[in-house]
Amino acid sequence: MYIGFGYDVHKFKKGRKLFLGGVEIAAPKGLDGHSDADVLIHALMDALLGAAGLNDIGHFFPNNDPQYKNISSLKLLETVCKELKNLKFKINNADITVIAQEPKIYPHIDKMKINISKALKLNKARIAIKATTNEKMGFIGRGEGIAALAVVTIKK
């Protein structure tokens, strides 16, 4: 069994759509980034790559490469899944936490799990997604951005 950990953070930007776990969530601002800035999926991808002993997402999907401009991070997740499968790794489970003062994440968690389950071809029951505010403290508490953490286990 191999364990991987991932962390990512993106700041809010006016005029951008908010994507988390591949779900478009109605919000006054979205997250800034080269891709769709889906911070939840980014943390998950880094956890998967880390568990497999591979480089991080910036190595696989450079943020100056036009082919990744505004790309759905679910597409990138599918590519990461293929990388692991090529190395004969099987994903066991994923446990993800989103830290966001706003918006509320819980109404969207089931759809997020379905999206990730499809992209990874992993049973939905093996995917946990939780959310917490930052109790109004720090940059997340002030609503400047959203962070996500992910832990995965994989096996050969």
Ligand X SMILES: C[C@@]1(CO)OP(=O)(O)OP(=O)(O)OC[C@H]1O
Ligand Y SMILES: Nc1ccn([C@@H]2O[C@H](COP(=O)(O)O)[C@@H](O)[C@H]2O)c(=O)n1
Torsion angle of the four alpha carbons 108, 113, 114, 115, in this order, in degrees rounded to the nearest 10: 90
Based on CB atoms, which residue is closest to ligand X, 58 or 107?
58
Per-residue binding letters, 23-42, with ligand X (x by CB under 6 A): ----------xxx-x----x
| Using rule CB under 6 A, residue 100 touches ligand Y | yes
Q: Which does 34 bind (CB under 5 to 8 A by kind): ligand X, ligand Y, none?
A: ligand X
Q: Is 8 annotated as a binding residue?
A: yes
- Taking Cα atoms as reference points, which of 35, 83, 38, 84 lies closest to residue 61? 35
Burial pattern 104-133, b for ≥16 Cβ within 10 A else e, equals ebeebbeebbebbbebbebeeebbebebee
Q: Which does 61 bind (CB under 5 to 8 A by kind): ligand Y, ligand X, none?
A: ligand X
Contacts with ligand X, residue ranges (CB under 6 A): 8, 33-35, 37, 42, 57-58, 61-63, 68
